[in-house]
Amino acid sequence: MSEFNVVGKREPMLDAWEKATGKAKYTDDLSLPGMLFGKILRSPLPHAKILKVDLTEALKVPGVKDAISGRDIPKRKYGIVPKAKDEYALAIEKVRYIGDEVAAVVATSPEAAEEAISRIKVEYEELPAVFDPLEAMKPGAPIIHEEVPDNVSATIRKEFGNVAKAFKDSDFIFEDHFETQPVNHCPMEPQAALAMVDHFGKVTLWSSTQIPFFLRRNLATTLDLPESKVRIIKPKVGGGFGQKIDLYAKDFCAAFFAMRTGRPVKFVYDREEVFTCTRQRHPMYIYLKTGVKKDGTILAQQFRVIADGGAYNSTAPLMITLACFFIMLPYRIENLLFEGYHVYTNKPVGGAMRGHGIPQVRFAVETQLDIIAEKIGIDPLELRLKNAFQAGEPHPAKLLVQSCGFSETLKKAAEAIGWREKRGKLPFGRGVGLAGASFPSGVSNMSHISSGAIVKIERDGSVTLLTGAADIGQGAETVISQIVAEELGVRIEDIRITAADTEITPLDPGTFGSGVTLRAGNAARMAARAAKEKLLEAIAEKMEVSPGELEMKNRRIFLRENPDRGFSFEEAIKIYQYSDRPMPIIGRGSYFPPAKEPTTLLHEDGNFSPAYSFMTQAAEVEVDPKTGRVRVLKMVTAHDCGKAINPMLVEGQLEGSVVGGMGQALYENIIMEKGQVLNPNFLDYGIPTAMEIPSIESIEVETNDPEGPFGAKESGEGTQLSPAPAIVNAIYDAIGVRFKTLPVTPDKVLEALEKRER
């Protein structure tokens, strides 16, 4: 019998009915009286000075109420990472990529706004552009940001151990080059914003955002307002995957026009804007050198990673830091030299995407591990098990790993895919492969990442929960409600949750880095516990016992040693109320990860996360040698998620991440020519559809992390790290060809097979 009543149960998402029936309200579903519609004019050039913007003809279009260019806005740079601010809400002096924001209009209809945009006249002085990060780093390359003369906007160089000696002691040394492509997040809901201003001059913005409190900070910065004058409300969000953590021109323009016109203003991006003018996964060039002993022990690794950041920084310092530190898990890497560079180019901007810089380097590591295993005659599974990190081991970068089920994920994934029976034994064209990874449960190297919660027990026995956590479809509100219900001994249907409103709910960093369950869940549990203690104190007084002798479960408060002696939840609340204690019963909680704050891992070592998840993906593929088409037959994902608060939601996250990883491996690629995106739509951009999805088996490996609420930690995001190398390794098992560049498209397969036959 489970020790829990609510935690660990397969509860449906609280908003499932709303979404299934179409009742859920997303930003574009919202409407206010007198609302205006906005549209943004974007640069047709990859790099140019803005000489003149003429809005005259645009303002003559019937229905147009206002128009602005960069010269009309506060000259305030912003950025999601404070030390990397390099972007204006509208371009002021020059544009840096095709799609950069130049001007904006608002009108009484979308059609009028579109017409007005077409009438804006802009004079440019075209500048030389650079589209490859390797070229951008060379002396004499066009300078994209004047304050960064070498175009390298963020770097990290970290060395652990004695790399030179470790390579000298190695029996084998392997050197390989890998390359990954730009990938779009493809959220089903495009970015949107709706703003209004009240008679006190306070801006309220509804936005499809993952991080309401960060957005409030950046919006206040760009509007040149105090944060107290800005309120952010997050409606339902139709997917984010990292793309919706940044402030965009739609947020600023909606608010700025609302301030200027006194009317509500809405901006909604079209699909081409989502592809071109938001964020994408960074393409990378990766050099990897690994030294091993004859028995497969990894002695040293050396990396040189060059990330194409596009025109602006976004999350550049954090992205390149994550790529470095998560090389060192899930395997023991005692000696590591990592050099990472984030480089400006005149292309769309790189930013956070599920895994945030780690899937690219994980592809390199896991692919090379299979190369090493074959060369030294060790089974790839055994090589990984031999080097698998274990809980409690000292870590060269001072990461504190208190729970680790990586070895178990390897064994279970291998068993489920039929590793012993299939690896190297299937007919030509069929093969299996696997790959491992690790991911943080929330990053701890930045300020502004504490989570708060308030729990109120009402007179009727219902519970109100206030949390700043941003649910973007992953089920965060459901999981946090389950945590509170379990702590208070009530049902999940007793919980009423209000979330992600900067005016009402406590501070929260939002959804990024897979930290919601751990950060916001811990805060909510602390708040519930604080309210619970107040109630238990009153009941203990009534029963003439100590609070520690009481239990709250199944909507009852009773003596732990004599469960028949107690009160119903409603009776207990009356006892509390009649004891002249204040109602409602309020508990507050705040959780900050146990880390030095703020710390910058670009310059110093330290624990990166309160907890770390571990996972293994295994794939079985079929390759058609005539067409080059790769079909994934089965994917297995074994994930160490601590304690699964809601196993059904965990499975949904794992399955979605596996499909996303398949996309990077085989289909997805933003195709560009001289900075122009050529496939900015779902018709031409290859995301996996229901026709490509294989059989997926999800295996939850529970390890009960001491830092997580009820032992929980990350589930889902980390799963996107290793499907690509698992699939690529399976392709090698199927046809004997190794791929080091993504995606593995049919033309690449056919070309490789042709070379192999020569």
The mean pLDDT of 737-745, rounded to a whole number, is 98
The mean pLDDT of 541-546, rounded to a whole number, is 96
Q: Mind listing the pLDDT tens digit for each residue in 25-78?
A: 999 999 999 999 999 999 999 999 999 999 999 999 999 999 999 999 999 999
Whole-number pLDDT of residue 757: 77
Phi, psi values for residue 738, rounded to 5°: -100, 135
**DSSP of 609-627, one letter per residue?**
-S-EEEEEEEEEEEE-TTT
How far apart CA 666 and CA 679 sit, in angstroms, is: 16
In degrees, rounded to 5, the angle at the alpha carbon of residue 710 between the alpha carbons of residues 708 and 712 is: 45
Q: Nearest 10 degrees: CA dihedral of 502, 504, 507, 512?
A: -60
Count of Cβ atoms closer than 10 Å to residue 587 Cβ: 23
Contact 434, 620 (CB under 8 A): no
Whole-number pLDDT of residue 1: 38
Q: Are strands 172-180 and 284-292 parallel, antiparallel or unpaired?
A: antiparallel
Whole-number pLDDT of residue 207: 98
Q: Is the pLDDT of residue 447 over 60?
A: no
Whole-number pLDDT of residue 340: 97
Distances (CA, A) of 529 to 487, 507, 536: 7, 19, 10
The mean pLDDT of 539-564, rounded to a whole number, is 96
Q: Is the pLDDT of residue 180 over 60?
A: yes
Q: Mind listing the pLDDT tens digit for each residue in 409-443?
A: 999 999 999 999 999 999 999 999 999 999 999 88
Whole-number pLDDT of residue 560: 95
Whole-number pLDDT of residue 444: 75
Whole-number pLDDT of residue 599: 55
Domain with CATH 3.90.1170.50 in the chain: 31-127+188-239+244-277
**DSSP of 249-313, one letter per residue?**
HHHHHHHHHHHHHSS-EEEE--HHHHHHHS-BBPPEEEEEEEEE-TT--EEEEEEEEEEEEETS-
Contact 418, 432 (CB under 8 A): yes
Contact 219, 205 (CB under 8 A): yes
Share of the chain above pLDDT 90, in %: 93
How far apart CA 132 and CA 283 sit, in angstroms, is: 10
Whole-angstrom Cα Rg for the chain: 27
Domain 284-444+599-757 belongs to what architecture? Answer: 2-Layer Sandwich (3.30)
Contact 179, 305 (CB under 8 A): no
Q: Is the pLDDT of residue 502 over 70?
A: yes
Residue 382, token pair as written in the block: 């055994």
Per-residue pLDDT band at 445 (split at 50, 70, 90): low
Distances (CA, A) of 504 to 202, 233, 419: 15, 9, 52
Task: Name which of 364, 401, 205, 342 is nearest 738 in CA terms.
Answer: 364
Task: Name which of 612, 703, 721 is nearest 658 in CA terms.
Answer: 721
Whole-number pLDDT of residue 756: 84
SS3 431: strand
SS3 365: helix
Share of the chain above pLDDT 70, in %: 98
User: Environment class of residue 614 by beta-carbon count within 10 Å: exposed (0-12), middle (13-18) or buried (19+)?
Assistant: buried
Q: Is the pLDDT of residue 597 over 60?
A: no
SS3 448: coil
**DSSP of 531-575, one letter per residue?**
HHHHHHHHHHHHHTS-GGGEEEETTEEEETTEEEEEEEHHHHHHH
Q: Is the pLDDT of residue 598 over 80?
A: no
- The CATH code belonging to domain 16-23+450-591 is 3.30.365.10
How far apart CA 460 and CA 462 sit, in angstroms, is: 6
Residue 573, token pair as written in the block: 């609340």
Contact 391, 402 (CB under 8 A): yes
Phi, psi values for residue 374, rounded to 5°: -65, -40
Q: Which residue has the tokens 């209809």?
A: 109
Residue 27, token pair as written in the block: 């930003």
In angstroms, how far is the first alpha carbon of the chain from the final one? 63
Per-residue pLDDT band at 601 (split at 50, 70, 90): low
In degrees, rounded to 5, the angle at the alpha carbon of residue 701 between the alpha carbons of residues 700 and 703 is: 135
Sheet with 695-701: strands ordered across: 430-440, 612-623, 630-640, 695-701
The mean pLDDT of 476-496, rounded to a whole number, is 97
Contact 281, 183 (CB under 8 A): yes
**β partners of residue 37:** 107, 266
The mean pLDDT of 252-266, rounded to a whole number, is 98
SS3 content of the chain, % helix, strand, coil (to 5): 30, 25, 40
How far apart CA 528 and CA 392 sit, in angstroms, is: 31
Residue 748, token pair as written in the block: 């690449």
Q: Which residue has the tokens 């996250």?
A: 653
Residue type, 148: V
Sheet with 495-499: strands ordered across: 495-499, 463-467, 451-457, 585-591
Contact 404, 703 (CB under 8 A): yes
Whole-number pLDDT of residue 604: 73
CATH topology assigned to domain 31-127+188-239+244-277: Aldehyde Oxidoreductase; domain 3 (3.90.1170)
**β partners of residue 630:** 623
The mean pLDDT of 100-106, rounded to a whole number, is 98
Average pLDDT, the chain: 96
Count of Cβ atoms closer than 10 Å to residue 47 Cβ: 25
The mean pLDDT of 159-179, rounded to a whole number, is 98
447: part of which helix (H) or strand (E)?
none
What's the whole-model pTM score? Answer: 0.97
How far apart CA 11 and CA 553 sit, in angstroms, is: 18
Q: Residue 20: which residues within 8 A CB-CB, separation 6 or more?
A: none
Q: Is the pLDDT of residue 712 over 90?
A: yes
Count of Cβ atoms closer than 10 Å to residue 101 Cβ: 24
Task: Name which of 1, 14, 11, 5 is nearest 497 in CA terms.
Answer: 14
Maximum Cα interatomic distance, the chain, rounded to a whole number of Å: 89
Per-residue pLDDT band at 600 (split at 50, 70, 90): low
Domain with CATH 3.30.365.10 in the chain: 16-23+450-591, 284-444+599-757
Phi and psi based region of residue 588 (left: phi greater than 0; alpha: psi -120 to 50; beta: remaining): beta
How far apart CA 296 and CA 571 sit, in angstroms, is: 65
